[in-house]
Amino acid sequence: MENSFEDLIATYIENKVGISEHFLSTDLANNLKQNLLTLNQERLLMAAGIGNSEKLSFDGAIRSDSIYWLDKKHNNAFENEFFAKIEAFILYLNQSCYAGITGYEFHYSLYESGDFYLKHLDQFKNNPSRKYSMISYLNSNWQESDGGELLIHQLDNNQKISPTQGKTVFFKSDELVHEVLVTQNTRMSITGWLKSD
């Protein structure tokens, strides 16, 4: 477990974008993916908005994915296993990097063929509590032709990251503009933020 944590931190220090190829185990990724697909079949996902609860809007020309918020109150075994992994990472991050993280929030994200999310920052202008963004992918057998890459914009080194199963990406929420390129296949992830309230 600590190896995947160290992978995220070491690559983040090197390039401002942390990547662990196997942050989620195959079993956990498969179970979370099945849970997401079931929620979608039950029509429990909702259109993703832009902004927070104080200033929320919906614009399909900017963002076209659907989401479902994870919550311990759901008492879902696989979501709770994911939360346990995140809490262990936060403990490791706080102890090794004095990050001061005190909480988190995560949601499933589903992009159907043709969906995208244009350039944006993850931290709200009216609320700076989001400190780090984390995205864990749930897509097995993803091909380059499927598109849907995460494109992170940096001054001298734009980085395109394929959303392959088990991979987790980690970066500062107020620092890097990023986008999700148009996907040609169903693209699934758990997306969220480590927070300091």
**What pTM did the predictor assign?**
0.92
Q: What's the average model confidence in pLDDT over 110-132?
A: 85
Kindly tell me the sign of the dihedral angle through the C-alpha atoms of 100, 103, 108, 114: negative
The per-residue pLDDT for range 1-29, each reduced to its tens digit, is 679 999 999 999 999 999 999 999 999 99
By CB neighbour count within 10 A (0-12 exposed, 13-18 middle, 19+ buried), where does 28 fall? middle
Please give the structure tokens belonging to residue 63. 């963002």
Q: Say what the pLDDT of residue 50 is.
A: 66
Residue 51 has pLDDT above 70, yes or no: no
Q: Could you tell me how far CA 139 lies from the centroid of its own chain?
A: 13
Residue 123 has pLDDT above 80, yes or no: no
The answer to whether the CB of 105 falls within 8 A of the CB of 195 is yes
Residue 53 has pLDDT above 60, yes or no: no
Q: Which residue has the higher pLDDT, 55 or 92?
A: 92
Distances (CA, A) of 112 to 17, 67, 166, 170, 180: 26, 12, 19, 23, 12
Please give the structure tokens belonging to residue 9. 């931190």
Residue 59 has pLDDT above 90, yes or no: no
Distance (Å, rounded) from C-alpha 62 to C-alpha 111? 13
Q: What's the average model confidence in pLDDT over 140-164?
A: 93
Q: Say what the pLDDT of residue 56 is.
A: 57
